[in-house]
Chains A and B, each alone.
Chain A
Amino acid sequence: MTADDSRSFASAGLIENAAMEPVTAEHPAAGDDDNFDAHVERVVQRAILRNIPGLNLPQSQSELDVGQTPKELVYSNETARLYHYTPMLDEIYRVPVLIVMSPVAKGYILDLAHGQSLIEYLLMQGHDVYMLDWAAPHREQSRLGLDEYVLDLVGGCVEAVAHDSGEDDITLIGYCMGGMLSLMYTALNVGGPVRNLACFTTPVNGDGMALFKKWMTSKSFDIDRLVDQIGNIPGDMINGSIQALRPLQRSANQMRLLNNVQDDAFVKAHLRFDRWAVDQLPLPGELARKMAKDFIIDNKLIRGGLELRGKPVDFANIRVPFLHVAALYDHIVPAEASRDLIDLVGSEDKKEIVMKGGHVSLVAGGNAIFRLWPQLDAWLAARDQ
């Protein structure tokens, strides 16, 4: 039996019924066929539940308890949703932390479950945590480009955090493409409220995104035509592009699942990761156009020339304490795409941590829990002056 078979059993209602109806020792009255059938069914269900592991697992991806840490919406503009997580301690650090997610990734990867949540960990250490999570753009929002994302949406959230917390300083943490947005915002707002900046697996060298570069520079691919025709880039298309970077990984993960199907905790963790991995957000058309042209094709973050509303973006202008965390086995943002970042940033206080792991396990895997999170906490705490 496979995990899918298990879920089929579950979805057929056998599990739910078995869990809800306690089996009693009563025997059906002789001659009562309906009661006898029901009794046999209950006995069989109980036997299945006891003997086949995995059947108590959620019946669908949507039932997985992700993103459970209490939070409140404090700002909403276009696709930006700013949440404030309820502090868990009576005494917290002065400087609030704003986590900027990638516009194609949902924020619950950082809050998968109790004990597997960076958000929960930071709250437990006494940090005041906000998250800029993104909503799926609707068709009319395909006009949103990099200018709007960096200057209006990230900028609006930074102001909202300052207003909500009552603090003039904030720490920005950007994940993947959220790191690019955070870098651009900080570079364009020198002397602004950003006091510390941390980036996780953030690409800056378009040439290092080898496969995407080849696709986008091929003669037959035209990003303008694509965006003009469909507007927002669908999440499935983005997911397909990411899957192409390691085409058999998902199959291998399914094999791992089968090999560990007796372990409910493993299966549940796998389902959470798997749900997130295919839960990509669409990318607004103009943002996709700008990223494809300026970042991938022209590699302007390395060669220079990137401008937002006429202002040149130069990471050398960034002078605040800076942390870059990269993953050794990251196939989505390989080292070739991210290793230049530490040299581009002008800060004197800068540090790079390269950890074993992949693009996602870096922030949410076992290695993250025991190694990265404590280091991040120490880095933040030491700079909370």
Chain B
Amino acid sequence: MSDGDGLDPMRLWREWFVKSEKAWSDALTDLMGDERFSNGMGRYVHEALHTHRMFSEAMAQYLANLNIPSRADILDMSDRMAHIEDTLNQIQVELRGQRSQLTKLAASAPGAEERKRPARTRKPETNDS
């Protein structure tokens, strides 16, 4: 590790890399924009998905035989948890609304202190835009 003062070849190399990164990245991006690369990538994505699907189906059967949950089972559970989370969010929103209503009612009662919400009366100090 360099202390930043001495002549550290690794540090010099890193600084060179940082400075020249943009040029290297541009060259790689140009390469990825090439028609052949784009076609190859498109094929790769679809082939990888196909392979993944075949492997997943085979593995799911294997795991079912071993009585072990598969990825699909975990995703099912994840979806159910997400639904529970959604419901909790709705309850949280509803409770906030109820609390707000109660606060308004309490504030409007005779003798109640004025509800403390920021006043929407702020004005810009100068109009410089």
Contacts and interface: CB of A to CB of B under 8 A. Distances in A.
B129 A89 contact: no
Contacts of A375: 129
A382 B49 contact: no
Q: Interface of chain B, helix or strand or loop or mixed?
A: helix
A381 B96 contact: no
Given A246-B29, A258-B14, A382-B124, A222 B46 contact: yes
Interface stretch (A56-64, A199-207, A213-221, A264-272): A213-221
A249 B21 contact: yes
B119 interface: yes
B48 to A, nearest CB: 10
A126 B122 contact: yes
Given A92-B118, A128-B120, A375-B129, A246 B46 contact: no
Interface in A77-116: 81, 87, 89-94
B97 to A, nearest CB: 8
B90 interface: yes
A211 B29 contact: yes
A94 B120 contact: yes
Nearest to B127: A382
Interface string B16-40: 0110011011001100110100111
Interface residues of B, number: 50
B35 A256 contact: no
A180 B1 CA distance: 45
Contact of B29 (A93, A126, A247): A247
A53 to B, nearest CB: 9
B53 to A, nearest CB: 7
Given A92-B122, A262-B4, A76 B49 contact: no
Contacts of B46: 220-222, 225-226
Contacts of A383: 129
Interface in B47-103: 49, 53, 75, 78-79, 82-83, 86, 89-90, 92-93, 96, 100
Given A93-B122, A139-B75, A214-B33, A259 B14 contact: yes
A93 B21 contact: no
A375 B129 CA distance: 8
B38 A214 contact: yes
Contact of B93 (A73, A94, A218, A219): A73
A141 B83 CA distance: 11
A9 interface: no
A251 B20 CA distance: 12
A75 interface: yes
Contact of B38 (A221, A222, A226, A245): A221
A76 B96 CA distance: 12
A92 B124 CA distance: 10
A91 B122 contact: yes
B45 A214 contact: no
A74 interface: yes
A139 B74 CA distance: 12
Given A74-B93, A248-B28, A262-B4, A215 B41 contact: yes
A252 interface: yes
Nearest to B17: A255
Contacts of B14: 255-256, 258-259
B128 interface: yes
Contacts of B40: 220
A232 to B, nearest CB: 11
A218 B122 CA distance: 54
Contact of B122 (A89, A139, A249): A89
A337 interface: no
A211 B32 contact: yes
B77 to A, nearest CB: 11
Interface of A: 1, 72-76, 81, 87, 89-94, 126, 128, 138-140, 164, 167, 210-211, 214-215, 218-222, 225-226, 229-230, 244-249, 251-252, 255-256, 258-259, 261-262, 375, 378-379, 381-384
- Those 8 A-B pairs whose CB atoms lie nearest each other, nearest first: A221-B42, A220-B42, A381-B124, A218-B38, A76-B89, A252-B21, A255-B14, A382-B129
28 contacts: A74-B93, A90-B119, A91-B118, A91-B122, A92-B119, A93-B120, A126-B122, A164-B100, A167-B120, A210-B33, A215-B38, A215-B41, A218-B38, A218-B39, A219-B42, A220-B42, A244-B29, A246-B25, A246-B29, A248-B24, A249-B25, A256-B14, A259-B15, A378-B124, A378-B129, A379-B129, A383-B129, A384-B122
